[in-house]
């Protein structure tokens, strides 16, 4: 929900797809069903929070940054395992994999865990503002926020020349069954920087089960397959290294 300052705020509630399916089943049994909805949420004063960053500096072009990230906060009903602890873990694992392989990237690879995606994306907006003040140059932005499921490729928010170049890399991703690069939305937290012209990539996953968990009490760690989560991190690491070494 969003309001203009001049508009009086009214109560509002969000129903997950899991909850909506349950209501649908109940209505089929009793078409005269009524429910009582108790709203106890409050909007509290803003407090200072922070994104979490880590990076491996590039050896030749450290000033050029390849960003990979997810968001730290979650919907209050679950623990946020798929939305979006999985994206945060994958971003950390990208750096871990690069270190384990002993690779020194040509450009800086930075992992960012954004705060406040669910309620105003202030982490993403704050990161973009801080980066602008610091005069940083980002060459690519990669986000994982579709759940920790098996990767299938990336949605790409960039011009046709970038799309043509990354599609030439598709054979490198095929052994992981993740060689699909298609136009599409890249992610909430990186969106303000994508609008300024930085190419954005969203990890594309096998998400048929995502809305069994999304914004519900079902979104817990036991629903995440470790192997699928790890393959997603490998795919992101491969993309980061390709962009780091070859540019866009």
Query: What are 54-110's pLDDT values in tens digits?
Result: 999 999 999 999 999 999 999 877 799 999 999 999 999 999 999 999 999 999 999
**Helix, strand, coil in percent for the chain, rounding step 5:** 35, 20, 45
> Residue 1's pLDDT is what?
72
What are the distances in angstroms from CA 143 to CA 15, 28, 43, 189? 25, 40, 28, 8
Sheet (strand 107-114) strand order? 52-56, 107-114, 61-71, 137-143, 200-205, 151-157, 180-183
Q: Domains (ranges, CATH) in the chain? A: 52-246 (3.40.630.10)
Can you tell me the mean pLDDT for 17-25? 90
> Residue 191's pLDDT is what?
97
pLDDT of 138 > 80? The answer is yes
Give the active site residue among 64, 117, 143, 236.
Answer: 117
> Residue 37's pLDDT is what?
86
Q: Confidence class of residue 165 from pLDDT cuts 50, 70 and 90?
A: very high
What are the distances in angstroms from CA 120 to CA 30, 194, 203, 234? 38, 17, 22, 30
Can you tell me the mean pLDDT for 211-233? 94
- In angstroms, the CA 90 to CA 82 distance is 11
Can you tell me the mean pLDDT for 149-175? 96
With beta carbons less than 8 A apart as the criterion, state whether 141 and 194 touch: yes
Determine the Cα angle at 244 with ends 198 and 183, to 5°.
Answer: 45
> Residue 44's pLDDT is what?
85
> Residue 85's pLDDT is what?
96
Dihedral sign computed on CA atoms, order 102, 108, 177, 163: negative
- In angstroms, the CA 13 to CA 177 distance is 39
> Residue 180's pLDDT is what?
95
Can you tell me the mean pLDDT for 206-221? 90
- In angstroms, the CA 51 to CA 131 distance is 12
DSSP-derived letter for residue 52 is E
Does this model's pTM top 0.75? yes
For this structure, is 170 an active site residue? no
With beta carbons less than 8 A apart as the criterion, state whether 143 and 197 touch: no
Can you tell me the mean pLDDT for 135-163? 96
Can you tell me the mean pLDDT for 233-242? 98
DSSP-derived letter for residue 106 is S
pLDDT of 2 > 80? The answer is no
121 torsion bin: left (phi>0), alpha (psi -120 to 50), beta (else): left
């Amino acid at each position: 929900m969003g309001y203009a300052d001049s508009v009086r705020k009214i109560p509002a509630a969000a129903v997950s797809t899991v909850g909506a399916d349950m209501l649908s089943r109940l209505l089929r049994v009793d078409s005269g069903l009524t429910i009582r909805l108790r709203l106890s949420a409050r909007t509290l004063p803003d407090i200072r929070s922070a994104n979490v960053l880590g990076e491996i500096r590039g050896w030749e072009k450290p000033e050029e940054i390849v960003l990979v990230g997810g968001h730290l906060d979650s919907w209050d009903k679950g623990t946020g395992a798929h939305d979006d602890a999985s994206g945060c873990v994958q971003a950390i694992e990208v750096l871990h994999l690069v270190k384990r392989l002993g690779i020194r990237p040509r450009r800086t690879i930075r992992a960012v865990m954004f705060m406040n995606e669910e309620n105003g994306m202030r982490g993403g907006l704050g990161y973009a503002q801080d980066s602008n003040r610091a005069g940083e140059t980002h060459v690519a932005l990669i986000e994982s926020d579709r759940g920790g499921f098996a990767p299938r490729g990336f949605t790409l928010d960039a011009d046709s020349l970038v799309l043509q170049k990354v599609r030439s890399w598709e054979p490198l991703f095929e052994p992981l069954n993740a060689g699909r690069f298609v136009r599409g939305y890249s992610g909430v937290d990186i969106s303000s920087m994508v609008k300024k012209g930085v190419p954005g990539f969203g990890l594309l996953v096998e998400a048929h089960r995502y809305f069994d968990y999304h914004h519900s009490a079902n979104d817990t760690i036991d629903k995440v397959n470790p192997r699928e989560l790890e393959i997603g991190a490998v795919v992101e690491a491969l993309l980061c290294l390709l962009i780091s070494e070859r540019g866009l």
